[in-house]
Amino acid sequence: MFDKDTLAIIGDGECGYESAVSPPIFQTSTFGGGGEYSYTRLSNPTRSQLERELASLERGSYALAFSSGLAALNTLLSTLSQGDRVLLSDDLYGGTYRMAANIFSRFGISFEFVDPSDPNAVENAIDANTRMLFVESPTNPMMKIAPISELARICREGSVLLAVDNTFLTPYFQNPLLLGADIVLHSATKFLSGHHDTVAGALVTDNEPLYEKLRLATVTLGNALSPFDSWLTLRGIRTLPLRMERHQKNALSVAEYLQSCDWVEKVIYPGLPAHEGHSLCASQASGFGGVVSFTVKDTKTVKKLLAGGKIIKFAESLGGFRSLITYPLTQTHASIPEAMRNRIGITEKLLRLSLGLEDENDIKQDLELMIKS
Ligand SMILES: *Cc1c(COP(=O)(O)O)cnc(C)c1O
């Protein structure tokens, strides 16, 4: 088995078509000749190439690529039936919450929120109708760490599928399937594609019957990734190892810098030894990622930071080459009810930084200038 650095480069080991080193984009909706491919909604060679590479990077057997992270999620949830119950991380991407609360709950699927860092609470929440536990680790935006192996054991005993959203750490730093998870979800919009130019998603699993169900679902729902976006994601993956190392280096450096700033109240980054989940994260992943959340002492500081600097841009999303600052309260987590936001800690003082690939000292200087403005 190749190292992950090599896997990102050589993919599944063969590109096939006329020995092209970069795989071609099969920009066609339909195929004649009655061969393996017939219609791009069902399958497409460029997308298949990406799916093979995603499976190999996640150390799984099967992968599917979708038109967004949320398209991956709606396909996963579409395998459930009326009366089924799902446990969700109480701290998670706002769009995931919205899909559960506003769409699937109308079809008789019920959702309950649990703290994924508390295995006893998870175990107690499982009942006869519970079909799935869906967690992020680290969570977005509070960066809580879930004990994936322990949750996998609890889920197996209860015949519950464990799904892990691995967007923040990517397969470069964490492989939830190797820790016992049944399914991995990605917003490939973020680190996997990495260039702020693609919206994409993925599911990876070792469970063949589940994969067949998911494949039939995406073909039926019609939400698979386009050939061009599959190609962009493949291109992003080639530099994933290099980028993740740099994102992480910048994140740790900026997290340490923020800790030293008198206008900062608290820095939340699992790479800091003081973080509650630091050693757990280190035990199940090989890195801590490129996202840092923090709270400020005075809400007036928020305005200065959101005005943006010369480097850091105020924008949604994360995981690209450019450093971005996000205000979860009004952006990514606006759809979460106020009481729940307050309980989790998504307050008017919370900000989230996705560290890009710029020079770490320039980023820190940019923050300094924003505060002085
Ligand atoms: C962005 C994000 C999603 C949703 O992905 P899209 O590609 O925007 O649909 C899901 N989970 C996490 C953790 C995310 O950051």
Report residue 14's pLDDT band, with 50, 70 and 90 as the boundaries.
Answer: low
E strand residue ranges, the chain: 62-66, 85-89, 110-114, 130-136, 161-165, 183-187, 201-205, 264-268, 291-296, 313-314, 324-326, 350-354
| Residue 308 per-residue DSSP state | -
Residues 307-313 have a mean pLDDT of 91
Query: pTM for this one?
Result: 0.97
Q: Is 93 a catalytic residue?
A: yes
Residue 358 clears pLDDT 70, i.e. is over it: yes
What is the residue type of 25? Answer: I
Top mutation candidate among 189, 316, 331 for ligand 1, by most atoms within 8 Å of CB: 189
Token pair of 242 as six digits: 């290099």
The finding on whether 140 has its CB within 6 A of some atom of ligand 1 is yes
pLDDT tens across 177-207, in order?
A: 999 999 999 999 999 999 999 999 999 999 9
The finding on whether 326 has its CB within 6 A of some atom of ligand 1 is no
Output the residue whose Cα is nearest ligand 1's atom 2: 187
322/201 Cα distance (integer angstroms): 20
The finding on whether 95 has its CB within 6 A of some atom of ligand 1 is yes
Q: Is 85 a catalytic residue?
A: no
The SS3 of residue 85 is strand
**Separation of CA 373 and ligand 1 centre (Å):** 32
**Separation of CA 186 and ligand 1 centre (Å):** 7
Q: Is 17 a catalytic residue?
A: no
The finding on whether 158 has its CB within 6 A of some atom of ligand 1 is no
Q: Is 41 a catalytic residue?
A: yes
Structure-model confidence comparison of residues 14 and 80, the more confident one: 80
